[in-house]
């Protein structure tokens, strides 16, 4: 996965990714100038038969009015606030298959080395 997206789709590894890499973590972030894709190791130590799996960790959406979006979504999904110290999205929810979806208005994502996109 870490090689597929850069080699096949031309996404570039961005600065946030190098921070994780220097810390010995397997997380990677790749981008094309408009979109950031987070590739993280996934492991659930609470389940003895759960194996490490690599792949897409979550999808993130920039929204211009996060309160409005949360009001609209809250009847269908449980939206949880992300920890303040997290550098990315303000809120997270899951689809019926357990895929994570992040919402951000102010924090945004690094979409190219040193280039961040934010809705606000």
User: What is the CATH classification number for the domain harbouring 100?
Assistant: 3.10.180
Question: In the structure encoding, which two tokens stand for residue 105, read together?
Answer: 């208005």
Is residue 119's pLDDT more than 60? Answer: yes
Q: Where are the beta strands (DSSP E) in 10-52?
A: 12-13, 28-31, 36-42
Give 28-44 pLDDT, tens digit per residue.
888 888 778 888 777 65
Q: How many other CB atoms are there within 10 angstroms of residue 77's CB atom? A: 13
Residue ranges making up the domain that contains 43? 4-117
- The verdict on pTM exceeding 0.75 is no
Angstrom distance (rounded) from CA 50 to CA 59: 22
∠ CA 38-44-45, rounded to 5°: 135
Query: pLDDT tens digits for 51-62?
Result: 566 667 778 888
Domain count within the chain: 1
pLDDT mean over 84-96:
87
């Amino acid at each position: 996965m870490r090689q597929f997206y850069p080699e096949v789709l031309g996404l570039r590894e961005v600065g946030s990714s190098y921070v994780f890499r220097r810390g010995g973590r397997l997380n990677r972030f790749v981008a094309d100038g408009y979109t950031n894709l987070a590739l993280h190791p996934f492991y659930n130590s609470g389940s003895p038969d759960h194996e490490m799996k690599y792949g897409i960790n979550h999808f993130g959406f920039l929204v211009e009015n996060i309160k409005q979006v949360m009001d609209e979504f809250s009847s269908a999904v449980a939206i949880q606030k992300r920890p303040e110290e997290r550098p990315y999205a303000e809120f997270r929810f899951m689809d019926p298959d357990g895929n994570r979806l992040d919402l951000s208005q102010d924090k945004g994502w690094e979409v190219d080395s040193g280039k961040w996109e934010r809705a606000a």
